[in-house]
Every structure is written in C-alpha cells, then in structure tokens.
Homo-oligomer: A and B are copies of this chain.
Amino acid sequence: MSEFETINPATIKQALQQLQSHSPLIHCMTNDVVQSFTANVLLALGCSPAMVIEPEEAEQFAAIASGLLINVGTLTTDRRHAMRLAVKSANNAGKPWVLDPVAAGGLIFRTQFCHELLTLKPTAIRGNASEIMALAGINQGGRGVDSTNTSYDALSAAQSLAQSANTIVAISGEVDYVTDGIRTVAVTGGHPLMTRVVGTGCALSAVVAAYCTLSGDLLLNVASACASMKQAGKTATQKSKGTGSFIPEFLDALYLSNQ
C-alpha cells in the first residue's frame, strides 16, 4: 500500500470549512431517481444546489453556477442535448464540471455519450469500478448500476484514463481511489450499507463537483469529498437500524460535520 497517499483529518476538515465558507452553487444535471437526495446532501453540507435542464437555461446557468454535475443515469436525447450545451458553457466560463458515468459500459447510448463527454475535458470523473473500466475502454459487461469489480481492480484503468483525459478519476468502493494518473490517494472508511441506499454515489459526484470549486490541491479536494461522505456514512450506519433510518442519519451527519 506504500504506493498510495492517504489524506489526513486536518486536510479533510480544512476543505470542508472552505466549502462551508464559499457555499458553491452547484448546477446538477442528474438522473430522475436521486434529484431530491442530491439536493439535500448539498444543502446539508452548506452548498446551494440547482437543477436546471432546459437546453437554453442549462447553457445560461452553467456559466453562472460555481460548478456543474453531469450524471447520465436517466439520460434521454433531450437531456443529452442540454448537457452538451451546459458542458461547453461551463468550459467557456472556466467552471469545473464532473462526470458521473452511471452504468457506462452496459448500455450503448449512454456509453457513447460518456466517451463524447471525455473529449470535453471533465475536471473530475466519479464512478464505480465497472463504470471507470468501461470509460477506459475495458468492457466488463456490468449489469447496470452494480459493480462486480472492486475499486482496486479498476485502479490501473483509472490511472490511464486520468492521464489520457487529463482529469481526476475517483473510483468508489470499499476503498475509494482518487488519482490524477500519477498520484493516487486511497480513502478508507464508509460502510457497505451505503450501497443499499439509492443515490449515495450520485450525491458524492455532486459533492465532488462542489469540492472542485475550491482552491488548493484538486486531487486532495476530490479525495476530501470522498472522505467526508465516507465519514458521514460510517456515522450514520452506527446510528441506523437499517437502510431507512440511514437516510436521515446520513444527512444529519453531513449537516453536523459542517457546524
């Protein structure tokens, strides 16, 4: 494990404090399933979420917002069009944007769109092992939103992808790996219960977009986003009876981490 950096609690805390003081406005173009949870996660952390999807509005708003999230979970042709305009607008305005390639690899339409988006230079990519391997051109035939690979299995793919696309790649799993292709940070913590609640990964991608708006070391900022979400997940699991009580406990933990 000596090849990986770790991230220390002081760095995580500093990033969180910077997040809180800046309160970035995050333009979320995300899937239909996780809209409310994503907004509540960002709000709990002190950020401002806004979901804007009409093409003309998305183009206008991406330049106003602090950062942009593109999540292809319930992609449609209309949504794809709006996302293209938003990404180009964010790029023109010098705003960071994050790609969450939900279920890339398994489904042709979204996989092709994710590859197109790669050419538009995302600031960061956050996905599970199967999704990252698919983006890197290694098709493992994942059956959808699940990953049948561990995050470590996808590490070399993530490193290649980070270098070729000049981006930060975060692979979620029991250990999260965050890499720019040269440096790699390993983030431990969390709990498997998080995978039994819809939207924890998708919301993390929105939080990554928020952390990409901060100053400082981008790699450590993205790793801090992963670490803060893992900490809240662990706290929430300890206080939960099951997946139902996990949800309010998780939002409470994020909210209280911010006080």
Contacts and interface: CB of A to CB of B under 8 A. Distances in A.
Given A74-B53, A145-B48, A243 B198 contact: no
A211 interface: no
Interface in A220-259: 240-245, 247-256
A120 interface: no
A62 to B, nearest CB: 11
B143 A44 contact: no
Contacts of A256: 241-242
A93 to B, nearest CB: 14
A196 B48 CA distance: 9
Interface centre among A31, A44, A244 (most CB of B within 10 A): A244
A74 B78 CA distance: 13
A149 interface: no
Nearest to A244: B251
Contact of A198 (B40, B144, B198): B40
A49 interface: yes
The 9 closest A-B pairs by CB, nearest first: A244-B251, A242-B255, A244-B248, A242-B252, A39-B198, A244-B252, A50-B144, A33-B35, A245-B248
15 contacts: A33-B36, A33-B51, A36-B36, A39-B198, A40-B197, A49-B145, A51-B74, A54-B74, A54-B75, A61-B107, A64-B144, A196-B255, A242-B253, A242-B255, A245-B251
